[in-house]
Amino acid sequence: MAYVFGIGGVPIFEMLFVISLLLLAGLIFILLELRRLNSLIGKEKTDLKRFETDLQEFESDTGKKASAELDTYVKKALESGLSREQIEESLLKRGWAKDEIDEVINRISKS
């Protein structure tokens, strides 16, 4: 049996089938990674929203003084994986002074 197309005795249709399977496997891998990434982004948004809610409650209860409670909120936010920039942005939106924010974050970072 002679094949007109193919490499090394492997028919072209079998080669195309194998290539198609590899492409399909790659596509499935990419889709699974995108799904995982979407889940992580959703978790981060939830954490940020929870932090902002806690911060809003804190501000309404005690005013805008850097205190042990604010230190606790910032520490929890850092431990939950929020970046320094995200915390600063959230605090700036709430009217905190950049100096106060830097003071609290630096104090927590040193400890």
- 4 assigned to some structural domain: no
- 3 assigned to some structural domain: no
Q: Which of 57-61, 67-71, 99-103 has the highest mean pLDDT?
A: 99-103
- 104 assigned to some structural domain: yes
Task: Give every CB contact of residue 25 below 8 A, 6+ residues apart in sequence.
Answer: none
Indicate the range of 12-21, 37-46, 98-107 predicted with least confidence: 98-107
Question: What was the pLDDT predicted at 53?
Answer: 86
- 77 assigned to some structural domain: yes
Q: What is the pTM of this model?
A: 0.48
Question: What was the pLDDT predicted at 26?
Answer: 97
- 91 assigned to some structural domain: yes
Counted domains in the chain = 1
Where does the pLDDT of residue 73 fall: very low under 50, low under 70, confident under 90, or very high at 90 and above? confident
Question: What was the pLDDT predicted at 70?
Answer: 73
- 1 assigned to some structural domain: no
- Domain of residue 92 covers 10-110
More confident residue, 23 or 3: 23
Average predicted confidence (pLDDT) for the chain: 82
- 101 assigned to some structural domain: yes
Question: What was the pLDDT predicted at 5?
Answer: 57
